[in-house]
Amino acid sequence: MAEQAQATDSGPRPLVPFLKLGASPHLEGQKCTCGAIFLDPKRIACSKCGTAGSLKPVQLSNKGKVYVFSVVHQSFPGIKTPYMTAIVDLPEGVSVRSTLVDLDPLEAQKNPGKVFDLPVELVTSVVAKDREGHEVVGFQYKPSR
Ligand SMILES: [Zn+2]
């Protein structure tokens, strides 16, 4: 019985609830009838117009632009540094905090103008395993090519 339960319950888990996995991984926002979009899936009301119960799931673009970034030189034990964190603006008007990959952090620090407004696209990778052994998938952004 335990094995059966495990078999139906297998497969990777998203690190954050607004990351949707599957054939084409993407972020899912909550869109209000007024047009405002939020990332928080537990939000019950729109902070722009105040309407409650008006939020519907909407698939967000996998492409965006770097609004601002930071090079992290010190982190928790086991986290490789330096790495880059960023706020990425999506065309839907949503800002997403994430990590930038496929860029040289030290080069970016020397020439930050090359990174601001850089077109980027969403990628996913396994970042951990949970206690039950499921792969946990997170998302990052890499330069669009
Ligand atoms: Zn609204």
Three-class SS of 84-140: EEEEEECCCCCEEEEEECCCCHHHHHHCHHHCCCCEEEEEEEEEEECCCCCEEEEEE
CA–centroid distance, residue 17 to ligand 1 (Å): 21
CA–centroid distance, residue 40 to ligand 1 (Å): 14
- Name the pTM for this structure: 0.88
Low-confidence residues of the chain: pLDDT under 50 = 1-7
CA–centroid distance, residue 95 to ligand 1 (Å): 17
CA–centroid distance, residue 29 to ligand 1 (Å): 13
Contacts of 104 (CB under 8 A, 6+ apart): none
pLDDT at position 5, please? 46
Amino acid type, 123 = V
Taking the domains of the chain in order of start, what are their residue ranges?
2-143
CA–centroid distance, residue 50 to ligand 1 (Å): 6
